[in-house]
């Protein structure tokens, strides 16, 4: 079984590449972030033509998450239970579903913006709500994983230059402690390091030739419980999908399971 996560940075802009990638990659379940469309605009018909059902939680031009599955889709939950909301509104940042023998969450963790910004406090509160929401499944006997854009680089090795991020979000002790709290709840990072290249980044800014210069970050993660982690047979970042015209600024992260 092949499961992946991909921040597509607008499913409308990325649809031709998404459809081609699904056909070529053999992915059974895809957790998708930053759909940037309302649910009624989501391309469910085109995906259905490829054999994928879609669980979508999206409201408009920002955020938006989905789970695409060709192995079944059941027990869908839209939104994060206990979501703290930002400026009085809940944002579409989480959706979960059971896909065959596996249960997954697709999450788009708040960016945080700046350390002294209210969005940063919201990010940490959101992480607390995520831990509470997934703790039961994390401790269970069914393969379970939380996949998505976490907007946190787990270690200094997960950014191209630690000094370039001094004083900014994504690398602060509080954000990394939030990841540690997920691990304490029974989840672990199932994508091994190193992979086939020294720095398996997943995100490169469009600006300043960041991708050609490999000035990236590893912020797209797959955190699985013990049954999920034990079933992993391979994992990789599809760096090739970041290349060329019309690419997202994130690359897909792919995990193969024997379940």
Of 29-38, 149-158, 199-208, 213-222, the least confident: 199-208
Q: Residue ranges per domain, the chain? A: 71-235
Query: Alpha-carbon distance 255 to 118, whole Å?
Result: 34
DSSP-assigned letter for residue 123: H
Nearest one of 116, 142, 156, 167 to 230, comparing CA atoms: 142
Alpha helices in 86-217 (DSSP H): 118-138, 173-184
Percent of the chain predicted with pLDDT > 90? 93
For residue 155, the model assigns a pLDDT of: 93
CB atoms within 10 A of CB 184: 11
Q: Which residues neighbour 102 within 8 Å (Cβ) at sequence distance 6 or greater?
A: 1, 3, 29, 142, 143, 144, 145, 228, 257, 259
How far is it, in rounded angstroms, from Cα 11 to Cα 183?
Answer: 30
Digit-coded pLDDT (tens) for 53-109: 999 999 988 899 999 999 999 999 999 999 999 999 999 999 999 999 999 999 999
Contact 98, 77 (CB under 8 A): no
Stretch 125-146: mean pLDDT: 98
Pairing of strands 144-149, 102-108: parallel
Q: What 3-state DSSP class applies to 106?
A: strand
Task: For residue range 181-219, list pLDDT tens digits in order.
Answer: 999 999 999 997 655 555 589 999 999 999 999 999 999
CB within 8 Å of 204: residues ≥ 6 apart: 210, 211, 214, 215, 216, 217, 242, 249
Quote the mean pLDDT of the chain. 95
The CATH-assigned architecture of domain 71-235 is 4-Layer Sandwich (3.60)
């Amino acid at each position: 079984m092949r499961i992946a996560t991909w921040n597509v940075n607008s499913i409308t802009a990325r649809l031709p590449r998404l459809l081609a990638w699904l056909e070529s990659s053999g992915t059974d379940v895809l957790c998708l972030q930053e759909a940037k469309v309302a649910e009624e605009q989501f391309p469910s018909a085109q995906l259905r033509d490829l054999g994928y059902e879609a669980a979508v939680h999206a409201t408009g031009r920002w955020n938006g998450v989905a789970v695409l599955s060709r192995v079944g889709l059941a027990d869908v939950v839209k939104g994060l239970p206990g979501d703290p909301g930002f400026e009085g509104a809940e944002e579409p940042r989480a959706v979960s579903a059971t896909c065959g023998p596996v249960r997954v969450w697709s999450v788009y963790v708040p960016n945080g913006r700046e350390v002294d910004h209210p969005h940063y406090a919201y990010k940490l509160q959101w992480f607390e709500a995520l831990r509470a929401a997934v703790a039961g499944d994390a401790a269970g006997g069914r393969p379970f994983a939380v996949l998505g854009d976490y907007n946190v680089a787990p270690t200094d090795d997960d950014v191209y230059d630690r000094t370039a991020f001094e004083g900014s979000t994504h690398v602060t002790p509080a954000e990394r402690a939030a990841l540690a709290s997920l691990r304490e709840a029974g989840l672990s990072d199932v994508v091994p390091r190193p992979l086939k290249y020294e720095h398996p980044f997943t995100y490169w800014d469009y600006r300043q030739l960041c991708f050609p210069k490999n000035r990236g970050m590893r912020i797209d993660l797959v955190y699985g419980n013990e049954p999920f982690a034990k079933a992993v047979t391979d994992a990789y970042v599809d760096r090739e999908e970041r290349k060329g015209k019309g690419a997202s600024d994130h690359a897909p992260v792919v995990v193969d399971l024997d379940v």
